[in-house]
Amino acid sequence: MTGDSAMVGADQRAVGGQPEAERVDVLIVGAGPCGLATAIACQRAGLHAEVVDRGCLVSGIYGYPTFMNFFSTAERLSIGGIPFSVATEKPSRRDALAYYRTVTSHFGLRVRQYEEVLGLAVLGEGEGVSAGTGAGAMDVARVEGGSGGVAGGRIRGGAGAPPEKNIVAAGPADATIVPPDSAGERWEDVRQHAASPSPSLAPRFAVHSRTRSGRARLTTAHAVVVATGYFGHPNRLGVPGEELPHVTHLFREGHEAFQLPVVVVGGGNSAVDAALDLYRAGALVTLVHFGPDLDSNVKPWVRPDIVNRIREGSIVAHFESRVAAIEPETVLVSTPDGHLIVPAEAVYTMLGYQPNNALLEQLAVPIDPVTGIPLYDASSMETSVPGVYIAGVIASGFDANKTFIENGRHHGDLIARHLRPDLAP
C-alpha cells in the first residue's frame, strides 16, 4: 500500500475503512516541567502518554524575563532522573529551556505544541467514538449511546473560543461531538507516534482541541491530567485603560524602555526584577504597590539592591498606593496623600496569575472558592471525577507559592502509580 491507504492500514485504527480519532492512555494538558515529568512517569509505567499545550514547550519558562535566574538549584529542577548540570550556582532561563528540550528528546515524548484544548467530554460505560466520512479525516465524531454511566454533552468550538457548552450528565445518552464551524475545517488525520506503546486502557474521555493552523483534533483517553500552570491568566487591576497596547502582564527585558518613563505595578519578585532591569537599561522607573513595603518573599540577594535604589531615588516607589486609571502617556495613582499623575509610556502589571481551572470546571470538579484548590486526593492527584488528575501548581489554587517545580515534578509518579497499581513497589 502507498500514500494515504498505507497510513490508514499501518498507523490508524479503522472503523468501516475510515480512521478513528487518536486514542491514548493518558492525555496531559500542559507541557511545563510537571506535565513533562508526568508523561515520563506514565511512559515508564507502560502507558501511551501524550502532552498537548497551547504554546511552546515549557511556555511558562519561555515567558520569563530574558536574563532571569532561578531561585532553585538545577538539581531541584531536574525531572526523569536526567541530571541538570550548569556551571553557575543558579540556572538561567536559557539553561532551563535547553534542559527541558533535551529531556523531551531523550525520552521521545510526544508533545503537541501550539494546540489548544477547547473542550472535554466524559464517555459513558461501553461508549466509544466512531468516525464520520472522509478519508483521513472526521467530519463528525459521535459518542455511541450506552446504558448508564456518564455521557458528555455537545462540544462546539468557535474560532479559538471555548466550547459553546459542555454538559456532563448522569444516565444514558447519545451525545454528539461537533467539530468547529469554520468553512472547510475537518478533523485532523492523526498518526500514532512510532515510539509510543499502543493504548492499553479503555478510553473514558473525548478531548476536542485545535492546532495553531486551525485544524480540529479529537483524542480519546483513559485518563486526563490537567497540568496547565498559571501563565496566561494574569491577575488584573480592573481599571480603565488596562487594555491599552502599552500595558503588559509580561516582562522580557528592559532595553525596550531605554530613556522612557515606565510604571511597574507590584511588590513581589517579578515586579522587583522588572524594576531593576528597567532601571539598569536606562528607563525612568516608578514602582506602585498596594502594600506598605515590598513583599516578604523578595529574594534575599535582590532585596538590598532594590531597597538602595528606592532609597537613593533612582527608582521612585509609591507604597500603600494603587493605580486608578491608565492613559496613553500617564497613569493616575491613588496614594495616601491624594492622586498623582505619573508619566508612563509603558506599564508593567506584575501581579501574578490565576490558576487555569477551565477544564476542571467543565467537568464540575469542586473548586474551593476561598483557596481556589480543586477537590483531589493528594495520594494519587485524582480529582473527584474518576480518571481526571491534576499536576503541578494548579494543586495550590490561588497560592502559587505552595507548589514549585521542585515538589510538583513528583506528582506524575503518584498518577502513574494510581493508574498502574500492579507496578507499584
Tell me the pLDDT tens digit for each residue of 269-319.
999 999 999 999 999 999 999 999 999 989 898 999 999 999 999 999 999
Comparing CA positions, the residue from 30, 63, 376, 417 lying closest to residue 249 is: 63
CB count in 10 Å sphere of residue 11 = 14
Helix extents (H) in 165-286: 269-280
Check residue 67 and give its pLDDT: 85
CA–CA distance, 357 with 397 (Å, rounded to integer): 9
Q: Is 364 left (phi over 0), alpha (psi -120 to 50) or beta?
A: left
All three cell numbers of 369, joined, read 472558592
The fold of 247-349 is: FAD/NAD(P)-binding domain (3.50.50)
Residue whose grid cell is 464551524: 181
How would you class 359 by CB atoms within 10 Å of its CB: exposed for 0-12, middle for 13-18, buried for 19 or more? buried
Check residue 128 and give its pLDDT: 53
CB 38 within 8 A of CB 32: no
Q: What is the pTM of this model?
A: 0.74
Per-residue exposure over 160-183, b if at least 16 CB sit within 10 Å of its own CB, e if not: eebbeebebeeeebebebbbbeee
Query: Does 13 have pLDDT greater than 50?
Result: no
Check residue 110 and give its pLDDT: 96
- Specify the range with the lowest mean pLDDT, choosing from 136-145, 353-362, 366-375, 406-415: 136-145
Residue 156: which H helix or E strand, with range?
Answer: none
Mean pLDDT, all residues of the chain = 79
Residue whose grid cell is 444514558: 172
CB 27 within 8 A of CB 196: no
CA–CA distance, 392 with 399 (Å, rounded to integer): 12
Check residue 36 and give its pLDDT: 97
| pLDDT 10s digits, 135-153 | 233 333 333 333 222 333 3
- Specify the range with the lowest mean pLDDT, choosing from 121-130, 147-156, 361-370: 147-156
Comparing CA positions, the residue from 316, 332, 250, 340 lying closest to residue 55 is: 250
Per-residue exposure over 380-397, b if at least 16 CB sit within 10 Å of its own CB, e if not: bbbbebebbbbbbbbbbb
Query: Does 328 have pLDDT greater than 80?
Result: yes
CB 283 within 8 A of CB 257: yes
- What percentage of the chain has pLDDT greater than the value 70? 75
Structural domain 3-231+354-423, CATH architecture: 3-Layer(bba) Sandwich (3.50)
Query: Does 243 have pLDDT greater than 60?
Result: yes
| Mean pLDDT, range 79-102, rounded to an integer | 93
Query: Does 196 have pLDDT greater than 70?
Result: no
Domain with CATH 3.50.50.60 in the chain: 3-231+354-423, 247-349
